Structure 1
Amino acid sequence: MRTRKYPNLCKPITIGRTTFRNRMFSAPMGGTDITNDGCIGPKSTAFYELRSKGGAAAVTVSECMVHPQTDGSHAYHLDESILNSLACATYTADAIRRHGGIPSLELSHSGMFAGTYMTDKKKQHDLHQWGPSDTVRGDGVQVKALTKEMIEDIVAAYGHVAGLAKRAGFEMIMIHGGHGWLINQFLSPLFNHRTDEYGGSLENRTRFAVEVLQSVREAVGPFFPVEFRMSGAEFTEGGYGLDEGVRIAQAIEPYADIIHVSAGTYQKTFGITHPSMFEDHGRNVYLAAEIRKHVHKPVATIGGLNDPAQMEEIIASGKADIVYMGRALLADPFLPRKINEGREDEIVRCLRCFTCMAERAATSTRRCTVNPLIGRELEGDEIQPAPVKKKVLVAGGGPGGLYAAYTAARRGHQVVLCEKEKEVGGILKSEQALPFKYEMYQLSGTYRLLCEKAGVEIRTGVEVTPEYVDSEAPDALIIAVGSTPLVPPIPGLRGENGANVIVVNNYYLEKERCTDHVVVFGGGLAGCECAVHLGQEGKHVEIVEMRDMLAPDANVRHRPLLMAQIDKYCTVHTGYKGLEVTKEGILCETKAGEKVLVPGDTVICALGQRSRTDVVEALMDTAPFVRVIGDASRVSTITNAVYWGYHAALDI
């Protein structure tokens, strides 16, 4: 019998009459092709199926809105009057179940935030918004209080949709009672100002949740697992804290089989509900741990979890009975299987960069920085062998080059990857000096391991030149030579005159030269993140940026959290054009034409990157098949480098 390294994490758990194969559950995540009438599209079905194929014990399909009459959200609906609604749900449940995962459907109502998932926010504002109480949202939208008759109708809708879900083949229901949606709006003194039996005391504020759970239980029967998702604390002024979270859990415990403890409330706590890179992994686990002391039903926890050892400790020490993962299973859908099979060193860790959520906000699709399959699972999640095996040379060992080499090797090609530096990783090497971005540095090590296991020959300290390509005579060449730092000819920035200058890419090599008073020259994403790190170390940090805003290259989800850190640790000078770097700092010109010295003993040059076009041009005609990827093609993101590298390899 095989001894497991993480026995508690891999141990089955039985809820009602349903046995889950391990303690790693896939958290609710929104689909990628919701139809106009709320059906689960085929891309979404494949999206959820991959989580089950990857070994998750339960896979929760996100937020089926139960009452379209009062909730105009563009999300899933399950209604027998909608053509194909029940069929699409059935196909999805089938797709999850056939790989051994338990299909679960999350039932929800947006309440006063209806229309959240609409890409066109003007339409959201045009919707009539309903909540526990009459109010005006922060964005000026009027909210009307639900009448008792409407509440009764919504409660009945929860039960009706739960019954349809069971008919479709779902084997668990999750009731969303957290994150500022309708049930949480009733639970929270922040939103609930009613004076009837649904407001005031805790008993009254939990009444709606209890009625919903009772309605669902009546529809699905006594042994069907029903999970209640709640915020253990809301982390905002006027909301409830953990003490009241414990009392809420106790109130709903008689009616639920699993108490799923998340955190936070809508819009106010995004970086807590979905812990950002600036937060500790598992920063919300203590909420579940405290609630578990006061209830007897199984408790689930969630929040930035992706480390097997940490998750094992959570289960082993009794902090929770189940761990949920969302983003971690985007980065690596096969994480649970890798843990079960003793391949945890192959896990591709989530970077908590929010590319996935930013893409959903921008285009209503999904994309993951480290996993090019996400949102595109229908294109195939298994690498097919190439009909003709070829020799492939990859020039450059950054993230795009590594992923291209890994993919080409899995197709059966003979792959050689050359990196001119002594270590692979490209621009990722610079991230090792920033603790909150260390997982980006680790990514290159993981990709290298995957390459080696796939049979890639990696040659470091080798630069690919036209002569080298001629000597190797590959059938295909993937050019992934990356970019170089942009260091413009500003007086004092280069050469001997720049003795107090550190290029941001080289900070990890020269950080001992960094003094306690630093000017970061360039307020893009790289400069801002380096500035935050320096501020966290206790240094006095100034940022000089010629544009009117910082980090326009940061995604829409990450940027507000980054700016909050900037406000905490840095002094910002926007609209400042750097004229000269001196020993005293940077001489700048303001928009008004005034000359100002921004003082600092050390200058971090973070003025951007430039593609290595000279290398690309020299290599373009050296092999029958040539593809340029990543920064070598266009200075962009890790996301694009990995995605382009993956598809370059598929095209050979």
Structure 2
Amino acid sequence: MLDVSKTDERYKVLFEPVKIGPVIAPNRFYAVPHAMGHSPLMRNGSHAMRATKAEGGWGTVCMQLAEIDPTSDICDLPIETFWDEGDVREHRVLTDRLREIGSLSAIEIAHTGIRGRGMGTGMPVWGPSNLPCLKPQVPVQSKAMDKADIKALRQSFRAAVRRAKQAGYDIVYIYAAHDASILWHFLSPAYNHRSDEYGGSFENRLRLMREVLEETVEEAAGEMAVAVRLAVHEVGGRGKITHDGEGRDVVEALADLPDLWDVNIATWPHDSGTARFDNEGWQEEFTSFVKQVTSKPVVGVGRFTSPDTMVSQIKRGVLDLIGGARPSIADPYLPNKIREGRIEDIRECIGCNICVSSDAFSIPLNCTQNPTISQEWKRGWHPENVPHAKVKKNGLVVGSGPAGLECALVLARAGHHVTVAEKAGELGGRSLSESRLFGLGSWARVSDYRLYQLRQMSNVDLFANSDLNAESVAEMGADHTFIATGSHWLKNGLGSTHFEAIKGFEENALSVDEIIKSAKPEGPIVIYDDEHYYMGNVIAAHFAQLRHDVTLVTPQPYIAGWMGYTLEQPRVNKQMLELGVKVVPNAVASHHDGSALHLSDANTGALLAPVAGTLVPVGLRAPNLELWQALDGLENKTLIGDAVAPGIIQSAVFSGHKAARTFLNRGVEPAMKRERGVLY
């Protein structure tokens, strides 16, 4: 039994066991399946990440989508394979480890259907109909499956269920969500154009899913629980599945057949909405009906970080289990912190989807809040524990942005005395200042979490309004100095497509820093975005909702290119339209004449109409190196964060963490283990 003696009475319901068919979850915290950027050749990292969640109190821990056979080949993404007996042994290592810790294990077996590519195996993509694969710009079409293909698919599902049993999983999933499952493709009228018994009517389109589920239950034979993961509402999708229509019909038709319903919405950009667009628990509107339809337990997600919200979901009969993907990445120890009465210590997900972008970019997960994710095995980093210093030293951190605060926190947890000196009048750096822009309020959690932790420690001194120079740094007499002075936005037009300054920009523009900190321009605003992440469109939205006439110009064919990886790009486009922002793509700036920005077409070179208004270039940033250069003669110093190379907040946090770990390791950067394949 879990020790709940320190648990707030309000939250004890979260630590009640839940029966899921033949198994019992030790609590209501359920780390749902999520992509992790680890390929099947990187199982050490994958297992360590999941084991850390189990140690942190997640009562059920799930493996990501696992392809059932080579016909489900998504190839350019690091998805798990569960093709044959050769995969069983590695998965058994994970399930044994989770069981030893005390958590249930689950695997989401799936066939990706027309989300597949087939390029790695040379096999045709399978789907209910002959359609393009669901990856824009990939010249692949699906084969409309015949009866022999459907029979083979069902046999593959059966075999995968048997392998899941051999691998020791407690729960096996049937997956029909996120627009990435062949069962979903058969179910959706947008993809299923068949006229046989597997197409047309709702019952016919449901047939394959029903058959696979019934056969999964038969194969599980009461030794494993069977879960269904279903998108009960297709928000902004192509089909007609809604929570009060066919989504409800599916649950009603199969209500008590599985042991667990894992419910969410489609498509993935809506299911994994960022904090900029969706609040905590936003999926309740679409999923709350499920418990009214089935007697089986229900798990759902909503970027839950507040225990009060979690309890509300349970007590109001919305969910039985609190699902977490991104919250379990940001803080693998979230359940234990609630159980131990340490609510203030939760490292809350900020909903930025840097984790999603990592997987979409085919690399192991990164997280803005948790720099140890994916480093558990690779570098031996733990999200909560830091090696304790045998000899206490004095560390000076100059700058209180994401890098400086993370570095200070790691050093302080190791037992060193840390002084943080900040030039500005408030602590927090860019995470705090950017959080004041429209839609970025959750960014403040980066500084809030770290400042709260540091303020509880007697070995930490925090000073704002402390503009240190080389002489004052030397007077501090620190054993080691960490320079986290950040960077500043340039306003000369340098950007990802402009490697030279643009005439007239420097003298006629306001920088991003000026806009964020103090400038209040009047009249029209012209943003020249040559960075292609969030800043340009966030500033556009910020001033548009303040009733400014805003024009967003970019030399690229579309705005916010990188945000395709964070799943936000389509929603950013929609937001710009709704706020009345005029978007001008494929427009290259030639110069600013003091009254207007002059442009030409990126493809033809033809002149475009000049655009007048306060100019705000969003391009490159330059490191703030004045203090670092003035300390040229000082030994025992380290440059960190944006002062090394300007990047995203996640990069700054990681830089600060790694620098502190290196200092704790006597100045030697911790060794990084590599995953290695097996030679046959």
Match of 1:619 in 2: 631
Match of 1:119 in 2: none
Match of 1:20 in 2: 25
Q: Is the 8 A contact 1:10 1:21 kept in 2?
A: yes
Tell whether 2:553 aligns with 1:540.
no
Tell whether 2:424 aligns with 1:421.
yes
Q: Alpha-carbon deviation of 1:69?
A: 4.5
Read off the aligned partner of 2:273 and give its amino acid letter: P
Alignment partner of 2:270: what SS?
helix
CA distance in structure 2 between the partners assigned to 1:22 and 1:514 by the alignment: 53
Task: Provide Cα deviations, 1:377-425, integer angstroms capped at 9, x if missing partner.
Answer: 1022132123433211111100001001111112222211111112111
Tell whether 2:481 aligns with 1:477.
yes
Match of 1:320 in 2: 319
Output aligned runs, 1:134-533, within 5 Å: 134-137=130-133, 139-180=138-179, 181-222=181-222, 224-235=224-235, 236-242=237-243, 243-264=245-266, 269-276=267-274, 277-378=276-377, 379-380=379-380, 381=382, 382-454=385-457, 455-488=459-492, 503-507=511-515, 509-510=517-518, 513-515=520-522, 517-524=524-531, 525=533, 526-533=535-542
Q: Alpha-carbon deviation of 1:507?
A: 4.0
Read off the aligned partner of 1:518 and give its amino acid letter: I
Alignment partner of 2:550: what SS?
strand
Q: Alpha-carbon deviation of 1:89?
A: 0.7
Match of 2:575 in 1: 565
Task: Provide Cα deviations, 1:263-320, integer angstroms capped at 9, x if missing partner.
Answer: 11xxxx3320211232333332222102222222222212433333322222222222
| TM-score, L = length of structure 1 | 0.89
Alignment partner of 1:25: what SS?
strand
Match of 2:80 in 1: 76
Match of 2:611 in 1: 598
Q: Is the 8 A contact 1:433 1:507 kept in 2?
A: no
435-444 or 2-11, which deviates more: 2-11
Alignment partner of 1:50: what SS?
helix
Q: Alpha-carbon deviation of 1:45?
A: 0.6
Correspondence for 1:113 among 115, 139, 154: 115
Q: Alpha-carbon deviation of 1:114?
A: 2.0
Tell whether 2:622 aligns with 1:610.
yes
Alignment partner of 1:29: what SS?
coil
Read off the aligned partner of 1:255 and give its amino acid letter: L
Q: Is the 8 A contact 2:269 2:568 kept in 1?
A: no
| Percent identical residues | 26
Tell whether 2:134 aligns with 1:132.
no
Q: Is the 8 A contact 2:116 2:125 kept in 1?
A: yes
Distance 1:307 1:506, change over 3 A: farther
Distance 1:90 1:391, change over 3 A: same
What count of residue pairs does the alignment treat as equivalent? Answer: 627
Distance 1:173 1:326, change over 3 A: same
Measured on the aligned residues, the alpha-carbon RMSD in Å equals: 2.8
Distance 1:492 1:404, change over 3 A: same
Q: Alpha-carbon deviation of 1:541?
A: 1.1
Match of 1:55 in 2: 57
CA distance in structure 1 between the partners assigned to 2:12 and 2:522 by the alignment: 47
Distance 1:594 1:255, change over 3 A: closer
Read off the aligned partner of 1:446 and give its amino acid letter: Y
Read off the aligned partner of 1:93 and give its amino acid letter: T
Q: Alpha-carbon deviation of 1:475?
A: 1.3
Read off the aligned partner of 1:398 and give its amino acid letter: G
Alignment partner of 2:418: what SS?
strand
Read off the aligned partner of 1:251 and give its amino acid letter: A
Match of 2:649 in 1: 638
Distance 1:464 1:190, change over 3 A: same
Q: As a proportion of its length, which structure holds more helix?
A: 1
CA distance in structure 2 between the partners assigned to 1:67 and 1:115 by the alignment: 13
Q: Any unmatched runs of 5+ in structure 2?
A: 493-500, 664-680
Correspondence for 1:45 among 23, 47, 67: 47
Task: Provide Cα deviations, 1:432-455, integer angstroms capped at 9, x if missing partner.
Answer: 322421111232111111223354
Alignment partner of 2:645: what SS?
coil
Alignment partner of 1:421: what SS?
coil
Q: Is the 8 A contact 2:185 2:191 kept in 1?
A: yes
Read off the aligned partner of 1:610 and give its amino acid letter: A
| TM-score, L = length of structure 2 | 0.85
Match of 1:588 in 2: 598
CA distance in structure 1 between the partners assigned to 2:400 and 2:250 by the alignment: 52
Q: Any unmatched runs of 5+ in structure 1?
A: 117-121
Task: Provide Cα deviations, 1:492-529, integer angstroms capped at 9, x if missing partner.
Answer: 978xx97xx76433445547x35463333545332221
Q: Is the 8 A contact 1:174 1:229 kept in 2?
A: yes
